[in-house]
Amino acid sequence: MAPRHRLPNPEQVRPDEPLSRYLLQSGYFSRHQRRIKPHAFLPEPSTRATSVFRTSGLIETEIWRIAEEHVSGPAGRTIHGRADILVSQVEATGLCVDPDNVPERHAEIVGWPQEKHERLSLAQHLAAVAELRLRL
């Protein structure tokens, strides 16, 4: 189970909170260029939201454990890495972070515009400021 201690406020995110977008698709990042590709942040078409986890108060092994329990494990996939970004960096683009807490610590980046070109532009901004963490 993911650690139940040091849980962030389930109903409200803080600007300085870190978020992790787990990367299960090798095309969503470049190992050679050490970068996250913008489409890693594009929302799912059915929900118009981008799935992330709130990782404040967690150490590295705990952050990866969440990925295994809730993302790569259920999908039967390998976790390649993650894109780390702060809530404030998301909100600076005009997008919002909705802490749905299902499962625990889960949140969604929401507020994506209707037009594809606008979503691409926002995703470029997110990818430019996010930090790539590769799974060793």
Residues forming the site for other proteins (CB under 8 A)? 22, 24-25, 27-28, 33, 35, 37-39, 42-47, 51, 71-72, 75, 77, 89, 92, 115-118, 120-121, 123-125, 127-129
Nearer to other proteins, 100 or 118 (CB): 118
- Residues 99, 11: contact at Cβ < 8 Å? yes
State the Cα–Cα distance between residues 80 and 78, nearest whole angstrom.
6
Strands 50-54 and 131-134: unpaired
State the Cα–Cα distance between residues 79 and 83, nearest whole angstrom.
12
Nearer to other proteins, 51 or 57 (CB): 51
Q: Which residue has the tokens 């470029």?
A: 124
Nearer to other proteins, 33 or 61 (CB): 33
Give phi and psi for 119, each to the nearest 5.
Answer: -65, -40
Q: How far is the CB of 5 from other proteins (least distance, A)?
A: 28
Nearer to other proteins, 5 or 117 (CB): 117
The DSSP 8-state label assigned to residue 3 in this structure reads -
